[in-house]
Amino acid sequence: MPEFRHDPIDNRWVIIAESRAARPGAFTTSVGWAVPTIPTEQTHAPVGTAHPTCPFCPGNERETPPEVFALRAGDSKANSPGWRVRVVPNKYPALAMELAPVPAQEAPSLFSSFPAIGVHEVIIDTPRHLGTIAELTDGEFTESWFAIRSRLHALRELASLKHALVFKNVGRASGASIEHVHSQLMATQTITPLVAEELRGAKNYFDAHSQCAFCQMIEAERSAGARLVAESLGFIALCPYASRFAYETWVLPRRHQSHFEATGDGDLADLASFSRGIIGKIERLCQPPAYNLILHTSPFDTTALDHYHWHIEVIPRLTISGGFEWGSGCFANPVSPENAAAVLRS
């Protein structure tokens, strides 16, 4: 069973999950990772052709565990073609699926561990065998966010789960092992360290300033403009002041909102169209596209929080972290967020 292990010196947690080693290591295209064509007219992407060996293509539904959610034609059967978005448990989970009470926290010892229990799901954005988000239509991307919101609503009802991280790995350099565009959702019984740190930092800022740090950041970046990438009715994209990576870009709701799953239908459509435009620009900068998209949202067991503001972080994989980054925990970014934002605005 996968387990969380704790390092008592630097307070770091890792998951030891040997089942992940059985994942297919290669992309599903027999010719390897081809540079995808990004359509210039983004609302009419070409229809992808089903790939015979892709477990996420229609006709291959039996290659995945049975679906837990799908948006599909009314006359189609579960685990058969006819779906538009499909959510399935990850076949090679980093978390064990049986839910159990969280073990009591003990004082840190040399070898602390507990079973890594939770839910690890895959959200297949489209039945079309596409490799990038820019190739999706706005309608497809809206339904994909709809499916994520539905799963978050369902999972927060399970009392033993505390938090969910949703992410996309696009392109081989990002850690993706299957080309067909998809997201992953990992819901855990504890809050993963980076989100815990964000929650702590945001709370400290709120206590000191009586304002949400993210709301203040949005206001400051809108008026200064140098790191602002774009705005829609409900969302803003910016390159954060202390960007870790070249062209790192965050997308945030302009109005304060702590939980992604509280997003209404109209805002989901706005988010899909707006974020797809921003991601399309990042995909053009990274050829072949390689980036991670991460959704940071509030824990399940909280109601609306004044101090935390959900957001999406897009991390292009243009540079590789080296000894300095691994050794210091500090990222050296070769492109200033001011220059990155200027490029992404153009």
Binding of Zn ion at residue 260 (CB under 5 A)?
A: no
Q: Nearest distance from residue 296's CB to Zn ion, in Å? A: 4
Alpha carbons 274 and 42: distance in angstroms, whole number: 12
Q: Nearest distance from residue 297's CB to Zn ion, in Å? A: 9
Nearer to Zn ion, 128 or 156 (CB): 128
Among positions 228, 309, 310, 316, the unique one binding Zn ion when judged by CB under 5 A: 309
Question: Which residues from 126-165 bind Zn ion, rule CB under 5 A?
Answer: 129
Question: Which residues from 85-114 bind Zn ion, rule CB under 5 A?
Answer: none
Among positions 83, 146, 214, 274, the unique one binding Zn ion when judged by CB under 5 A: 214
Q: Nearest distance from residue 135's CB to Zn ion, in Å? A: 12
> Residue 12: exposed, middle, or buried by beta-carbon count in 10 A (0-12, 13-18, 19+)?
exposed
Give the angle 196-9-186 at the CA atoms, nearest 5°: 35
Stretch that binds Zn ion, among 70-78, 82-90, 208-216, 334-342 (CB under 5 A): 208-216
Nearer to Zn ion, 182 or 276 (CB): 182
Binding of Zn ion at residue 300 (CB under 5 A)?
A: no
DSSP state of 96: B
Nearer to Zn ion, 113 or 192 (CB): 192
Binding of Zn ion at residue 54 (CB under 5 A)?
A: yes
Nearer to Zn ion, 86 or 309 (CB): 309
198: three-class secondary structure by DSSP: helix
What lies within 8 Å, CB to CB, of 250 at 6+ separation is: 237, 238, 239, 240, 311, 312, 313, 314
Q: Nearest distance from residue 148's CB to Zn ion, in Å? A: 16
Give the sign of the dihedral formed by CA 204, CA 205, CA 209, CA 211: negative
Among positions 57, 191, 278, 279, the unique one binding Zn ion when judged by CB under 5 A: 57
Alpha carbons 57 and 54: distance in angstroms, whole number: 6
Binding of Zn ion at residue 56 (CB under 5 A)?
A: yes
Among positions 61, 296, 297, 315, the unique one binding Zn ion when judged by CB under 5 A: 296
Q: Nearest distance from residue 168's CB to Zn ion, in Å? A: 15
Q: Nearest distance from residue 164's CB to Zn ion, in Å? A: 14
DSSP state of 122: E
Stretch that binds Zn ion, among 16-24, 50-58, 92-100, 231-239 (CB under 5 A): 50-58
Angle between helices 138-155 and 265-285 (to 10 degrees): 120
Alpha carbons 282 and 90: distance in angstroms, whole number: 27
Among positions 156, 162, 172, 180, the unique one binding Zn ion when judged by CB under 5 A: 180
Nearer to Zn ion, 54 or 335 (CB): 54
Alpha carbons 71 and 86: distance in angstroms, whole number: 7
Binding of Zn ion at residue 212 (CB under 5 A)?
A: yes
Torsion of CA 120, 312, 169, 12, to 10 degrees: -60
Cis amide leading into 193 (omega within 30): no
User: Which residues in 144-171 are b (16+ Cβ under 10 Å) and which e?
Assistant: bbbbbbbbbeebbeeeebbbbbbbbbbb
Size of residue set near Zn ion by CB under 5 A:
12
Q: Nearest distance from residue 258's CB to Zn ion, in Å? A: 8
Among positions 117, 124, 215, 228, the unique one binding Zn ion when judged by CB under 5 A: 215
Question: Which residues from 61-90 bind Zn ion, rule CB under 5 A?
Answer: none
| φ/ψ bin of 41: left (φ > 0), alpha (ψ from -120 to 50), beta (otherwise) | beta
Binding of Zn ion at residue 120 (CB under 5 A)?
A: no
Tell me which residues touch Zn ion (CB under 5 A): 51, 54, 56-57, 129, 180, 212, 214-215, 256, 296, 309
